[in-house]
Structure 1
Amino acid sequence: MAHQKLLFILPLLLFITSKGSCDSPASVIDYRPVSPSESYLRHVESSVRRVLAPFQLCLACRCCASDDPNNCSSMPCCFGIECNLPGKPYGVCAFVPKTCNCDTCAV
C-alpha cells in the first residue's frame, strides 16, 4: 500500500514542480488586444470640468499574437479611457484595451 502511494505522489510532485511559478508568464507569445473599442460623445462645459486620476477596467477582450494574427484568444485585458482619438470628433472618448492577460489593472 505504501509503495502504491509513493508511485502516485512522486509523479504528482514532479508534475507540480515542472510547471514553474504562477508569476512567470504562461508562454512566450506576446499578445496584443484587437477588440473594438466603445466610444461615446459627451459635451461638458469647461467651467465644470475636473481632472481625475487615471481609470482602468479589467474586462474580457480578444487578443492576437503580435507575430501571428491568426493565433487569437479571449483573455482578460486592462482597458483605459482615451479621448481625442484620431478620426473621431473632439471630445469623443473610448475604452481602449491596453494590455492582455492581466490579473489586476493597477495603475
Structure 2
Amino acid sequence: MATHAPRDDPSPSSLPDAVPLDLRNLTRQSWKLGSRIADGARSLGEWRQTGGGWSLTAFEATEETLVLRLRSPVGRSRFYGAIRTEFREALPALSSSTAWERVDAEG
C-alpha cells in the first residue's frame, strides 16, 4: 500500500479523535482502492461507537497489512492502510474503551 506523501511529511495520516487507536504508520487510502480491498477481503473485526455513530471495520489486505474502513456518523467511508502487528498492539485501547463495542464474533 503506497502513499503519495513524501517521507518527511510533517502531517502523517491519523484517525479522528473519536477512535481510541494510536497507529503511527497509518496511510490514507483512496475510496476506490479501500472499497475494492474491503469488498473482497475477510473481515478481521468490527466495532461501533456506542452513541456517536462511528464504526470501524478491519479487513485483511496482506499477511502484514490490513485496511481499516471508518464510517462517519453521516455514513461516509474513509479507508486507511495499517500494519497488522501495530493494529493488534493498539487494539486493547479500543477493546477497553467504554465508548466502543465489538459487534461481530471475535475472530
Q: What TM-score results when the alignment is normalised by the length of structure 1?
A: 0.27
Quick check: which one's strand share is greater?
1
Q: What TM-score results when the alignment is normalised by the length of structure 2?
A: 0.27
Which protein shows a greater Rg? 1
